[in-house]
């Protein structure tokens, strides 16, 4: 009974963008996307930029719509199809089941960095004190200078903002973690920190689905690479 | 009895439900076939240009206008679900004074400009039956503090307040009775950007803290992104697109929504 079942399964997922402002131009991005991610496993989406890696991640998170196929996410005993779930259900999945970290910090303006990360930890029900300890640990590990913690990140450098964003994305405990190039433009020292933190998540049984352009990071975290170019079938037309 | 309560406490029962809401002004269409559910703690932004029907919709939901067709159902505090257009006048007043708030774009419409700030907040408490002067004043003071209005201004009338302060006072006046549902009509437009930002922070904090259900009408997509969970895009009286806020803004499907989103200047 040691064979775990996947936390996330994509079945023949497809997506075409229609650009109405470009005369209804249709851009088939991906079709027939099928793979799954087990607990404690890190699956990395591979392929050149423009292949649809990020679109796949965004569909899983419910940020982009999905035209066809199923995106099955396990929420406790229940399995939910993100592609068809009600907005409220998706919000609950985001609160309880899946986290998303991009390379861009998009937060409520005017909230101090430490509060941003603490609040993120609290979203999954971590008690206030513990959430704060976790936030401090992550910010320290990611080399965000302590003098910045009480300031809103709007004025931070790009790299500092990005590291606050990673701390925020990793602060909560959710069974599924989506990483959209979180290490892009980080220096080697901080990339290594992220690699360690991802390994920590995997050890806790988190299913990780990510995009990493740095080969060293990818090799360090990936259990499996799914080549997205093979899902570009509809593109030929 | 217990069984009924359990059914009533079901988290999936909506607080407010619009069913095919339609309004004609004579031959002219106000809005047509608007349907949605709203649950406790949910913030729904209705976006669109002027004339899109969003203000008509707000008036229909808040019973200021009667629909030409369709219905609005609301789950009362006792758990019963009522058709808002079948309420008695007393029930309607109870909702408007207690269980609902309405934050208007023009604070002069939402406040009583001739009476003090304290009275503006206290009045709603008296409407729910509180008659104890000291307690009313203490609660009013507390709420002025929560919306960052100095205690020293409690006896001033809103005439002497800035636009941002008036909006904050309006929020205090509306929230003091612990409403479950708040309607907001362009609450931040017409304010300076910095004042707007502070007001948005305040609204966001209070909505989350009190678990309010909110229907907010705005033409400002940034306000919608900051405050709402879901968006409804209206055009020419109809809902043309609806979904999670970040989904509609990041992956707009309809031509008009794509135009709206692409027209926003990134700051």
Report pLDDT digits (tens) over A35-93.
999 999 999 999 998 899 999 999 999 999 999 999 999 999 999 999 999 999 999 99
Residue in this structure with the two tokens 């001033």, named with its chain if needed: B156
For residue B223, give the chain A residue with the closest CA.
Answer: A108
User: Looking at the complex, does the CB of residue B243 fall below 8 Å from at least one CB of chain A?
Assistant: yes
Q: Return the closest-CA partner of residue B91 out of B78, B105, B104.
A: B78
Pick from A162, A148, A159, A157: nearest CA to A113 = A148
> Contact A21/B251, CB-based, under 8 Å?
no
Burial A61-85 (b: 16+ CB within 10 A, else e): bbbbbbbebbbbbbbeeeebebbeb
How close, in Å, is residue A14 to chain B by CA atoms?
15
Bridge partners of B242? B232
Helices marked H in chain A: 53-61, 87-96, 113-122, 128-141, 158-171, 188-203, 215-221
Residue A110 and residue B197: Cβ atoms within 8 Å? yes
Mutate which: B247, B259, B260, B261, vs A, most A CBs within 10 A: B247
Cα(B96)–Cα(B170) distance, integer angstroms: 14
Are the C-beta atoms of B150 and B168 separated by less than 8 Å? no
Cross-chain residue pair A64–B250, CB shorter than 8 Å? yes
H/E element holding B122?
A: helix B117-127
B39 touching A, CB under 8 A? yes
Burial classification of residue A209, based on how many CB atoms lie within 10 Å of its CB (0-12 exposed, 13-18 middle, 19 or more buried):
buried
Q: Which residues of B touch A58 (CB under 8 A)?
A: 250-251
Q: Do A20 and B250 touch (CB under 8 A)?
A: no
- Predicted confidence at residue B132, as pLDDT, reads 87
Q: ipTM of the predicted structure?
A: 0.90
Residues of A in contact with B255 (CB under 8 A): 20-21
Q: Residue A107 has what pLDDT?
A: 66
Q: Once rounded to an integer, what is the mean pLDDT over residues B203-207?
A: 88
Domain boundaries, chain B: 15-262
Q: Which residues of chain A have pLDDT under 70?
A: 1-3, 107-108, 233-237
Rounded to the nearest 5 percent, the helix, strand and coil shares of chain B are 45, 25, 35
Q: How far is CA A76 from the centre of its chain?
A: 19
Nearest CA in chain A to B244: A87
Indicate the pLDDT class of residue B198, thresholds 50, 70 and 90.
confident
User: Is the CB of residue B92 less than 8 Å away from at least one CB of chain A?
Assistant: no
Whether B204 and B227 have beta carbons less than 8 Å apart is answered as yes
Question: Residue B27 gets which letter from DSSP?
Answer: T
**pLDDT given at position B4:** 36
CATH superfamily membership of B15-262: P-loop containing nucleotide triphosphate hydrolases (3.40.50.300)
B230 touching chain A per CB within 8 A:
yes
Q: What is the pLDDT of residue B159?
A: 95
pLDDT at A93: 96
Instruction: Give A127's DSSP letter.
Output: -
Query: Rounded distance, CA A81 to CA A60, Å?
Result: 10
Verify whether the Cβ–Cβ distance A63 to B243 is below 8 Å.
no
Lowest mean pLDDT among A140-144, B169-173, B203-207, B230-234: B203-207
Q: Which two tokens stand for residue A221?
A: 């975290």
How far apart are the C-alpha atoms of A234 and A236, rounded to whole Å? 6
Say whether residue B209 is in contact with chain A using an 8 A CB cutoff. no
Interface of A with B (CB under 8 A): 18-21, 58, 62-65, 87-88, 90-91, 108-110
pLDDT at B12: 78
Which residues from A are below 8 Å from B201, CB to CB?
108, 110
Instruction: Name the residue facing A65 among B204, B226, B247 (closest C-beta).
Output: B247
Given this model, what pLDDT does residue B105 score? 92
User: Closest approach of chain B CAs to the CA of A109, in angstroms?
Assistant: 8
Token pair in block for residue B92: 């309607």
Longest dimension (CA), chain A: 56
B168/chain A closest Cα distance in angstroms: 18
Question: What local confidence, expressed as pLDDT, does residue B263 receive?
Answer: 85
Please give the angle made by the CA atoms of B71, B75 and B77, to the nearest 5 degrees.
145
Residue A19's DSSP bridge partners are A25
Distance from C-alpha of A209 to C-alpha of A33, rounded to nearest angstrom: 14
Mean pLDDT of B68-95: 93
Q: Which residues in chain B have Cβ-Cβ distances shorter than 8 Å to A110? A: 197, 201
Quick one: pLDDT at residue A110?
A: 80
Q: Which H or E run contains A82?
A: none
Summarised one tens digit per residue, pLDDT across range B105-146 is 999 999 999 999 999 999 988 887 878 889 999 999 999 999
| The length of chain A, given as a count of residues | 237
* Pick among A30, A65, A67, A71 to test the B interface (most B CBs inside 10 A): A65
Q: Which of the four pLDDT bands, split at 50, 70 and 90, describes residue B3?
A: very low
Interface residue B226 vs chain A (CB under 8 A): yes
Signed CA dihedral, B106, B110, B113, B116: sign only: negative
Report chain B's mean pLDDT, rounded to a whole number. 90
Across the A:B interface, residue pairs with CB atoms under 8 Å apart total 43
Measure CB to CB from residue B39 to each of A18, A58, A88 and give the nearest one.
A88
Residue with tokens 């399995």: A79
**Shortest CA distance from A111: residue in chain B:** B201
Residues of A in Cβ contact (< 8 Å) with B262: 21
Question: Per residue in B156-195, pLDDT tens?
Answer: 999 999 999 999 999 999 999 999 999 999 998 888 888 8
Q: Which helix (H) or strand (E) holds B240?
A: strand B238-244
CA A182 to chain centre: 8
């Amino acid at each position: 009974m040691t064979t775990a079942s996947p936390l996330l399964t994509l079945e023949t997922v497809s997506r075409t963008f229609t650009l109405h402002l470009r005369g209804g131009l249709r851009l088939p991005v991906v079709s027939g996307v099928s793979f799954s991610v087990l607990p404690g496993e890190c699956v990395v989406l591979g392929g050149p930029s423009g292949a649809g890696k990020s679109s796949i991640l965004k569909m899983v998170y419910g940020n982009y719509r999905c035209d066809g196929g199923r995106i099955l996410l396990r929420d406790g005993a229940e399995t939910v199809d993100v592609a068809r779930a009600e907005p409220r259900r998706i919000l609950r999945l985001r609160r309880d089941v899946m986290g998303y970290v991009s390379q861009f910090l998009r937060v409520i303006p005017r909230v101090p960095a430490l509060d941003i990360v603490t609040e993120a930890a609290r979203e999954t029900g971590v008690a206030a004190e513990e959430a704060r300890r976790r936030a401090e640990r992550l910010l320290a590990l990611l080399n965000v200078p302590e003098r910045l913690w009480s300031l809103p990140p709007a004025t931070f450098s790009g790299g500092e903002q990005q590291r606050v964003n990673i701390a925020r994305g990793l602060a909560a405990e959710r069974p599924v973690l989506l990483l959209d190039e979180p290490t892009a433009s980080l220096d080697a020292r901080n990339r290594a920190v992220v690699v360690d933190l991802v390994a920590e998540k995997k050890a806790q049984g988190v299913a990780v689905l990510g995009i990493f352009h740095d080969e060293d990071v990818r090799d360090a975290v990936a259990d499996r690479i799914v080549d997205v170019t093979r899902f570009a079938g509809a593109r030929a037309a | 009895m217990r069984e009924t309560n359990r059914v009533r406490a079901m988290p999936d029962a909506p607080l407010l439900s619009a069913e095919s809401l339609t309004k004609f002004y004579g031959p002219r269409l106000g809005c047509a076939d608007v349907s949605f559910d709203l649950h406790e703690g949910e913030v729904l932004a209705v976006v669109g240009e002027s004339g899109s029907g969003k203000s008509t919709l707000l008036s229909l939901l808040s019973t200021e206008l009667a629909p030409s067709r369709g219905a609005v159902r609301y789950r009362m505090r006792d758990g019963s679900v009522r058709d808002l257009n079948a309420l008695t006048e007393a029930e309607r007043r109870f909702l408007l004074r207690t269980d609902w708030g309405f934050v208007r774009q023009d604070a002069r419409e939402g406040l009583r400009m001739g009476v003090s700030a304290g009275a503006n907040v206290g009045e709603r408490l008296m409407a729910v039956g509180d008659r104890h002067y000291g307690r009313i004043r203490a609660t009013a003071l507390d709420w002025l503090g929560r919306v960052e209005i100095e205690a020293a201004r409690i006896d001033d009338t809103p005439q002497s307040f800035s636009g941002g302060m008036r909006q904050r006072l309006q929020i205090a006046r509306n929230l003091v009775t612990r409403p479950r549902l708040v309607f907001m009509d362009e609450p931040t437009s017409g304010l300076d950007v910095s004042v707007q930002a502070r007001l948005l922070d305040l609204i966001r904090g209070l909505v989350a803290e009190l678990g309010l259900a909110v229907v907010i009408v705005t033409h400002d997509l940034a306000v919608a992104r900051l405050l709402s969970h879901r968006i409804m895009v209206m055009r020419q009286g109809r809902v043309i697109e609806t979904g999670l806020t970040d989904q509609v803004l990041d992956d707009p499907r309809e031509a008009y929504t794509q135009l709206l989103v692409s027209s926003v200047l990134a700051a």
